[in-house]
Chain A
Amino acid sequence: MTADAAPLLPRDVAVRLAHAAVQAIADEAGITVLHIKGPVVDATLRAARLSEPVEEGSSAPRPRVSVDADVLVSPEQARALLEAMKRHGWQLAWDFDEGSLFAHAATLTHPHLAHVDVHRWFPGIECDPETAFAILASGARRIPIAGFPCLVPSDDAHRLVLLLHAARSPGGGGRADVAELWTRATGEEQTSVRRLADRLDATVALAAAIGELESVRHRRSYRLWRTLQRRDHTHREVLMGHIVAARPREIPALLSRFLLLNKRRMERQRGGAVGLRESLAGYRTWVSRRIRSR
């Protein structure tokens, strides 16, 4: 009769246990986290569809496949959550400013559980991140994930978050989400999502997700979302989109993040450290090429 310790977990189990572990850590530390994507979608927005009887000749909808667990936390409590997770055996793999120019998520790893992406805000939401979290958390409720009560956003908030994610993942997964969460949604559900996007100033990214991007050409962030919609976009095109979308005071931080990300990318490609001077030289080459090409 065995209860084997630390087995190699099936991926879906590792993801659900990671959600439960983060919730337990957050509860202990008095931090509010919202669980999003992956198994939360199957347990909420897709629950009815997954439990429908399968008609003859058609295939049953499949559970979502996730490789990591995603949580959203208020920017004010984000650092405290990372510290609390580290005290419980998690390791910081990527800090907020190391993953993408949005600087929205940090990744933590665990010896047994799935990676966790801790989002301190969600790309596509342009209002103040603290206000955004408060709006997304209003109407949140607890549902069991791995049998443990985890806090999840309202269905409207979750639908919007998934659509915003789809706006920058125009491949198969993003398209499938738009079809399932927008095209098949009722008119009432769509209206609620549009209203929420207005409150969160997320109308540009939502428009990108649902094929209405040209209706927001006049917005500063239009170029960024048009770029992200293309699967073959380059990092530099994304940077230009960010610069056009940014307020002037945000640009220095954006450029320094770009340099840091470039340095990390060069290090990954070479498998070793790259000095700041070398990284700056690469950046200068790119700028002079752009100037010459005009």
Chain B
Amino acid sequence: MTPRFVRPERLAVARARDGSLFVMPLPDGPPRALNGSAEVIWEIAEAGSERLVQDVAEAFDVDVDAIAGDVEDTLRSFVELGILEEASQR
């Protein structure tokens, strides 16, 4: 089962006027642009979804099994980059 995630307390998040999303672990960064599916996965995760993979699959209108591995890899990389945190870590 995929754990629940939250936004780290020391994370800056800014949306540009063209709609693109940027995040930066504080205070040192680096800033990162979240593009395409990364943005969707991050937003669903930081909203605290309890059925994360299913919600992402619904957002892209694909089968859960087809994307589960990629979603989990992406979440792991987000945690390593300090732009997402497992809820249990708080």
Binding site for B on A (CB under 8 A): 1-7, 9-10, 12-13, 16-17, 20-25, 28, 63, 88-89, 112-113, 146-148
Contact = CB atoms under 8 A, between A and B. Distances in A.
B31 A6 contact: yes
B11 A148 contact: yes
B18 interface: yes
B20 A1 contact: no
Contacts of B23: 3
A25 B81 contact: no
Contact of A16 (B14, B20, B27): B14
Nearest to A85: B27
A1 B10 contact: no
A6 B29 CA distance: 8
Interface in B1-50: 7, 10-18, 20, 22-24, 26-38, 41-42
B12 A3 contact: no
A20 B14 CA distance: 10
Contacts of B35: 2-4
Of the four ranges (under 10, 10 to 19, 20 to 34, 35 or more), the interface on chain B belongs to: 35 or more
Nearest to B73: A1
Nearest to B10: A24
Contact of A10 (B18, B30, B32): B18
B30 A112 contact: yes
Given A1-B74, A10-B18, A21 B38 contact: no
Contact of B17 (A4, A5, A10, A28): A10
A3 B33 CA distance: 5
Contacts of A1: 36-38, 41, 70, 73-74
B11 A88 contact: no
B17 to A, nearest CB: 6
B53 interface: no
B18 A146 contact: no
A258 B11 CA distance: 42
Given A21-B26, A88-B27, A89-B28, A12 B16 contact: yes
Contacts of A9: 22, 31
A222 B31 CA distance: 46
Contacts of A21: 12, 24, 26-29
A113 B31 contact: yes
Contacts of A2: 33-36, 38
Given A13-B22, A21-B27, A88-B28, A7 B33 contact: yes
A147 B42 CA distance: 15
B20 A10 contact: yes
Contacts of B77: 3
A20 B26 contact: yes
